[in-house]
Structure 1
Amino acid sequence: MWRVRRSIRTYRENPAWHHYQKKAPSEWVRQFGVPGHPFGSYRNHSRHVLEGEIRGYPTTLFHLAAVRKGGRYGTVVNTYSVAVLKLPVAFPDTSVSVGRLVYRLREEPLPPQAGTPVHLPPGRRPRMSKCSVDPAFAELVITENVIRMTAEAKAGWRLHGHHMIGWITERRPYEKIVGLAEAMTTILGEFPASVWTGNTGGWPRG
């Protein structure tokens, strides 16, 4: 935990990261599509929100406690470190994750307003969770290489409008979340040029 505290102190003092917020309002996460992975369906607590830029993408980093009802004590808390990239275009709602990161959330990967998710064939080990509201788009972007890169990062990611939301388990130092964001930019680099140039008006959704 001391590594997390030291990381927060270091990044808060770094002028490259222009805004820090110790605790975000409860409604703040709704811009990223809630409920939907990795957010809880009951409550979400977002802390240590840091904003800046990574590889040309406006970037937000934060720690998330995602809460759902259930379990022995009435609620189950899942803790993640999250990176959000703001994209120049809006993509169809799509999600890919290492399965063990999301199974305790017990909910659909995509928010209800995205439309009906289509669950894609399961990936290879480790078990992967994949779905999209647009199977044709998913076929273009969820390649074997993208699945491998996601698995190697031990991460999950989701496209929601102009955002790419990525997550890893537990509360991590910012250095680890920056590494996640960099992996996300590399995954975006695998997307074919056609999906970037052919949907400047936004893809039809749900």
Structure 2
Amino acid sequence: MWRVRNSIRKLREDPEWHHYRKRESRDWVRAFGIPGYPFGTLRNHALHVFEGQVRGYRTTLFQLAGVRIGGRYVTDVHRYSVAVLTLPGNLPGTAVSVAGLVRGLHTEPFPPGAGSPVHLPAGRKPRMSKCSVDPAFADLVITERVVRMTAEAKMGWRLHGNHMIGWIKEMKPYERIIALAETMADILAEFPASAATWDTGHRRPA
């Protein structure tokens, strides 16, 4: 934890990340789509929120404690480090993740309409899953290289409206979360030009 605390202090001294809030409201978190990875179904606590820019994208970094109902009268808390990039326009809800990052959430990746997550070919390590409200869009952007980049970063990412949400397991120093945001920007750079003008009004279930 001391590495996380030190990284928070250092980032607060960085003029490029001068917008800082110790905690955000649950209403603020809802803007990123709940239910949906990596958020909990019961409560979500966004802590140590920074705003700045990464590769030209307005970027928000924070620590997430997502709470879901576990067994009888028990709740489970899942902790993630999260980066959110603000995109120029809306894209269809789509996600790719290392399966182990989301298995414990026991929740769907999106609101109703996305269908069930699809596990990518057997034998891949780490095991990966994907899901989209628009399978044609998913086929366009989820290339083998994009899957490999996601796997190598041990991350998950999800498109929600004009946001790309990325997450890694546990509370990490902010240098690591900035690196996550940079990987997300690299993944967006892999999307074909036609993805930016995709008609989000034309959707079919997975």
What TM-score do you get using the length of structure 1 for normalisation? 0.93
SS in 2 for 1:148: helix
For residue 27 of structure 1, give the secondary structure of its aligned residue in structure 2.
helix
- Whichever residue aligns with residue 28 of structure 1, its letter is W
CA contact (8 A) 1:90 1:203 kept: no
Does residue 149 of structure 1 match 2:149?
yes
2:114–2:134 contact (8 Å) kept in structure 1 = no
For residue 120 of structure 1, what is the aligned residue in structure 2?
118
Question: Could you tell me whether the CA contact under 8 Å between 2:109 and 2:117 is conserved in 1?
Answer: no
1:15 matched to which residue of 2? 15
1:168 counterpart residue number: 168
Moved over 3 A (4+): 118-121, 201-206
Q: Which stretch of structure 1 is more off in the superposition, 82-91 or 18-27?
A: 18-27
**Structure 2 counterpart SS, 1:151:** helix
> Given that residues 91 and 203 in structure 1 are in contact (C-alpha distance below 8 angstroms), is that contact kept between their aligned partners in structure 2?
no
> How many correspondences in the alignment?
202
Q: Distance in 2 between matches of 1:21 and 1:150?
A: 29
Where do 5+ consecutive residues of structure 1 fail to align?
none
DSSP-derived class of the 1:172 partner: coil
Q: Which residue of 2 aligns with 1:110?
A: 110
1:25 lines up with 2:25 in the alignment: yes
Aligned to 1:138: 138
Cα distance in structure 2, aligned partners of 1:149 and 1:72: 38
Q: Structure 2: any 5+ residue segments left out of the alignment? A: none
Deviation at 1:118, TM superposition (A): 5.1
Q: Tell me the residue number matched to 2:202.
A: 204
Q: Offset at 1:202?
A: 4.4
User: Per the alignment, do residues 131 and 202 of structure 1 end up closer, same or farther by CA in structure 2, a change over 3 Å counting?
Assistant: closer
Q: Residue in 2 aligned with 1:52?
A: 52
Partners in 1 of 2:66 and 2:28 — Cα distance?
13
With 120-129 and 158-167 compared, the bigger mean Cα shift is at 120-129
Q: Over the residues paired in the alignment, what is the CA RMSD in angstroms?
A: 1.5
Deviations, residues 87-122 of structure 1 (Å, cap 9, x unaligned): 00211000100000000000111133xx23353352
Provide closer, same or farther for how the CA distance between residues 30 and 204 of structure 1 changes in structure 2, counting only shifts above 3 A: farther
Q: Specify the SS of the correspondent of 1:16.
A: helix
**Hey, what's the Cα distance between the residues in 1 that align with 2:111 and 2:167?**
16
CA distance, structure 2, for counterparts of residue 76 and residue 154 of structure 1: 22
Output one character per residue of 1:174-194: Cα deviation in whole Å (capped at 9) or x when no partner: 100000000000000100011
Percent identity of paired positions between Structure 1 and Structure 2: 63
Is 1:99 the counterpart of 2:99 in the alignment? Answer: yes
- Post-superposition Cα deviations, 1:34-82, rounded to whole Å, max 9, x if no partner, equal 1100000011011000000000000000000010001376001100000
Q: Distance in 2 between matches of 1:29 and 1:36?
A: 11
Aligned twin of 1:183:
183
Q: CA deviation at 1:126?
A: 1.1
CA distance in 1, matches of 2:10, 2:57: 21
